[in-house]
Each structure stands twice: as structure tokens, then as C-alpha cells.
Amino acid sequence: GAGEGMLVVQGLATAYGQIEVLHDIDLRINRGEIVSLVGANGAGKSTLLMTLSGLQPATRGRLTFEGRDLTRVPADQRVAEGIVQVPEGRQVFKDLSVHDNLLLGAYTRGRSQEVMDDLDRMYAKFPILRQKRHNLAGELSGGQQQMLAMGRALMARPRLLLLDEPSMGLAPLIIEEIFDIIRELKKEGITIFLVEQNASQALALADRGYVLETGRVVIEGTGRELLSNEKVREAYLGM
Ligand code: ATP
């Protein structure tokens, strides 16, 4: 129902060996929202995404998705539940074709007609990928690789898409394009959790946002509230 979190995180902690890098994280992502997570280098943003997608185990706390406790559920099963991550740095398979990269996104779904239809939809959404479908992913520009990484994730039919720094290393015009795509995905009903260093654009796009500092959520609010928050403006918007 309304206000019921799609993803609810309570008291979550994550450690690398003995070193805890996320402490007592509480957050929620409601169905249909874009939620942005901003924070400095090393604050723990990527670690948080990996904990949500199951690539990094939680050491404490609880994570529920659509009311189901997924805290101990492995990453591949979370993909099947609808939580799909686009990793930092794209991580496309550079020696495989664009086409095969997209198909790999649907590997848990087999090669049904439905998958082929989704592939067609992906090429309609990203015409440049259709044009380059026989090229190796490694031959694409950074922006094209980001589109490919997003397309590959979409082939898994996510309900919650976790995006790690999609604008990293891209030129301003391409960043605009990527943010436009994110807006479109929201219109299509996909819920989005967006990690960005590019705080002003990420918060402008967001329904709500969180600020992470040294492994803790220190500020939360609507995108607008965060954009006008004095501390956020000083620390993350360079004002
Ligand atoms: P960035 O924007 O640089 O990716 P981030 O906010 O995503 O930063 P994380 O990459 O999650 O931050 O890192 C959080 C902390 O965990 C940092 O202190 C980092 O050095 C440490 N860390 C990250 N990965 C590992 C790892 N594999 N082993 C040990 N420590 C790690």
C-alpha cells in the first residue's frame, strides 16, 4: 500500500574483514521512486549497493524486499526477485559483442521468445546499441558502454535497479542523456536507487535522497530538501 517500502533496510552493517565500513544503515525505497545516495569518495556508497544486491554480505541488520527477508539470500536469487545492479565502471564483457552482453543479462531467463522481444525493445530504447550490436563491447565509447551496462541489467527485468555512478567519466552531454534514460525508466515503472558523486544532478532527479558519511546515513529528505540543505550545499554541491 501507500508508504509501504519496497526495499526496507534496518540497522544494516557491512565489514571487510575486521573493518566495519557501513554502520547501522536505515533506509527505505518506495515503489516507483528514484532515490539518490550521495557521499564523498570512500563513504561506502558502492559497498552499500553491493550489500543490497548481495555481492557483499551484511554483518548485522535486515533487508526486506516486497516484504520478503532477503538478508541471507545470495545475489543470483536477488536478481530473480527483481533487484539488479549496474556496477561502477560498467564492467561490460569487453571481448564479447554488444548483442551477447545483452543476452547475458537475461541468462537466468533462458532464450525464450520473450527474451528476444526484450532484446528488440532494448535496441529500440538504445538505437546506438542496435547499430553496434556486432561490435565488441570494448570498442564502444564510455557513454555507450554505460548504455550497454544498463541495457544488460534491464534484460533481467528488474523491478529495483541499483545504479552505481552511471555518470562517472562521461562528458556533460552524455551525462544528460544517461539521466534522461533514468527518468524514462522511472516512467516505465522501474524503481531506482542511484549512487552518484554528481550530487546536484542526482538530487534534482530524485524523489528522495540520503547522504552517506563514513558509513553512516547523516541526512535524508526529499531531493528538493537536500538540494537546499546548507550542509549538503557546502559539502557536496560546492556552494
Ligand atoms: P567511491 O566513490 O570511491 O567508490 P564509495 O563511497 O563507493 O567510494 P566504498 O567503495 O564503498 O566507498 O568504500 C568504503 C570503504 O571501504 C572505504 O574506506 C574503502 O577503502 C573500503 N573498501 C572498499 N572496498 C574494499 C575491499 N574490497 N576491501 C577492503 N576495504 C574496502
| Ligand 1 closest atom vs CA 215 | 14
Tell me, what's the pLDDT at 90? 83
pTM comes to 0.94
Residue 2's pLDDT is 47
Could you tell me whether strands 83-86 and 160-164 are parallel, antiparallel, or unpaired per DSSP bridges?
parallel
Averaged over 112-116, what is the pLDDT? 91
Ligand 1 centroid to Cα of residue 72, in Å, is 22
State whether the beta carbon of 214 lies less than 6 angstroms from ligand 1.
no
What is the ipTM, given to two decimal places?
0.95
Q: Residue 185 above 80 pLDDT?
A: yes
pLDDT of residue 3: 54
Ligand 1 midpoint to CA 41 (Å): 8
pLDDT at 110: 75
- Residue 2 or 104, more confident: 104
- Contact predicate 97/104, CB 8 Å: no
Helices (H), the chain: 45-53, 75-81, 98-104, 113-125, 127-131, 142-154, 172-187, 199-205, 223-228, 230-236
Residue 39 Cβ contacting ligand 1 at under 6 Å:
yes
Assess whether the C-beta atom of 87 lies below 6 angstroms from ligand 1. Answer: no
Is pLDDT of 109 > 80? Answer: no
State mean pLDDT over 141-160. Answer: 96
Summarised one tens digit per residue, pLDDT across range 36-53 is: 999 999 999 999 999 999
Q: How far apart are CA 63 and CA 50, in angstroms?
A: 12
Rounded mean pLDDT, 131-154:
97
Residue 131 CB neighbours (<10 A)? 12
pLDDT in tens, 65-99: 999 999 999 999 999 999 999 998 889 999 999 99
Q: Measure the CA–CA gap between 96 and 92, rounded to whole angstroms.
A: 9
Name the residue at shortest CA distance from atom 20 of ligand 1: 42
Ligand 1 near 41 CB (within 6 A): yes
Q: How confident is the model at residue 238 (pLDDT cuts 50, 70, 90)?
A: confident
Confidence (pLDDT) at 1: 44
65 Cβ partners below 8 Å, 6+ apart? 6, 7, 78, 81, 82, 83, 160
Instruction: Say how many Å lie between the CA of residue 54 and the centre of ligand 1.
Output: 16
Whose Cα sits closest to atom 1 in ligand 1? 41
- In the chain, % of residues over pLDDT 70: 98
> What DSSP designation does 239 have?
-
| CA–CA distance, 40 with 17 (Å, rounded to integer) | 22
Cell (9 digits) for 38: 550521495
| Cβ neighbours, 10 Å, residue 169 | 13
pLDDT of residue 171: 93
58 Cα: distance to centroid of ligand 1 (angstroms): 15
